[in-house]
Amino acid sequence: MRLPVRPLVLVLSLTACLVAGCGPAADDAKPGTTAPSAASAPVPSVPTLVAHDPPSWFDARGKLALPEAATKGRTNLVGQVRGGGTEPPVLLHDAQAFVASPTGVQVVDLATGRIVGEETAQGEALRSDAEGYTLPPVLAGTEMLVPFLTTTPASGTYAAGGAVELVAVGTTAPYKAAWRTTIKLPEWALRSTKATVASAKATVAVVGAQDGTAVVTVVAGDDSVSYGIDTASHTLRWTHSGLKTVAVGTGMATGLLDGEPLTPFPVGVDLATGTEKWRGEKTYAAIMEKAGPGTVQVDDEMSSSFR
């Protein structure tokens, strides 16, 4: 199920409407008039934006450049998309843009273009080349959820490994972390950093959040795992190895579960417990995508059929 998203427009810059007043220059003042003193001079007003849902009109005259993190690893010098994901790692909410990167998130005021808030991951990034594969944050009530792939250092008899650090950032000033939690990843996540093929390296996404549970999925080639995290207690509710979650809604997390090689099963698991609620037919080379509220589509690459 696709969660409600405010239909704002995002390209490689953001559209904003600014109103500015202009007056005559000091040299052009009428003879005999006295220039206003510094104390009485009007103070320029700070531009503000009002969010409209749905939008009433669009205007590209007030473009604002996004921070570098929005396009790094995605475009070349002339703006053409190359490699990585084509979806910018940006969540638009009210009059702010939340821009994610592999190591942090920046909050941009859409009226002025100023960065008004910033949070960073506490752990060291698992991948140094993940910029083009960072996905947008997800809105969960009054918080914005953003995941980071980090490393856990070796300690005693424990080897170094990988982890997911989930951070919840407030959607109002001062835009700081309300809470964060860390989940240890399987060994394949750390091994994936040595892969020579980009698709075999680990990526992470918050798929969605509903009824007090956020679902995070990590994928690296043929390996995957999904987690259900309690957004009130900030603790791990469930782990589902082999599940690549695609959609969250109607009390379920829906995705593809590993079966025979290249033949996964479409499944739905309970959002609160992770217990399997239904399973579809195994599908060779299946690709699952969101198709609307409470609906997903499964594409069989061999026959290009949709269900």
Q: How many other C-beta atoms lie within 10 A of the C-beta of residue 125?
A: 17
| One-character DSSP codes across 74-127 | TB-TTS-B-SS-SS-SEEEETTEEEEE-SSEEEEEETTT--EEEEEE-SSPBS-
For the chain of 307 residues, list the mean pLDDT of each consecutive stretch of 10: 42 40 44 54 70 77 84 70 70 94 95 94 88 89 97 85 97 97 96 89 95 97 97 98 96 94 94 97 91 87 57
pLDDT of residue 43: 64
Contact 167, 119 (CB under 8 A): yes
pLDDT of residue 42: 66
| One-character DSSP codes across 161-225 | EEEEEEEEEESSTT--EEEEEEEEPPHHHHHGGG-SSGGGS-EEEEEEEETTEEEEEEEETTEEE
pTM for the predicted model, two decimal places: 0.81
Give the pLDDT confidence of 83-119 residue by residue, as tens digits: 556 678 999 999 999 999 999 999 999 999 999 999 9
Q: How far apart are CA 214 and CA 145, in angstroms?
A: 9
Query: Would you call 28 helix, strand, or coil by DSSP?
Result: helix
In CATH, 78-241 is 2.40.128.630: yes
Domain edges within the chain: 78-241
Query: Would you call 285 helix, strand, or coil by DSSP?
Result: coil
Closest CA relative to residue 237, chosen from 246, 247, 245, 227: 227
pLDDT of residue 44: 65
Give the pLDDT confidence of 2-37 residue by residue, as tens digits: 444 444 444 444 443 333 344 444 444 445 555 555
pLDDT of residue 81: 61
Q: How far apart are CA 172 and CA 245, in angstroms?
A: 29
- Is residue 62 classed exposed, middle or buried when 0-12, 13-18 and 19+ CB atoms within 10 A define those classes? middle
pLDDT of residue 9: 41
Closest CA relative to residue 86, chosen from 54, 137, 52, 133: 133
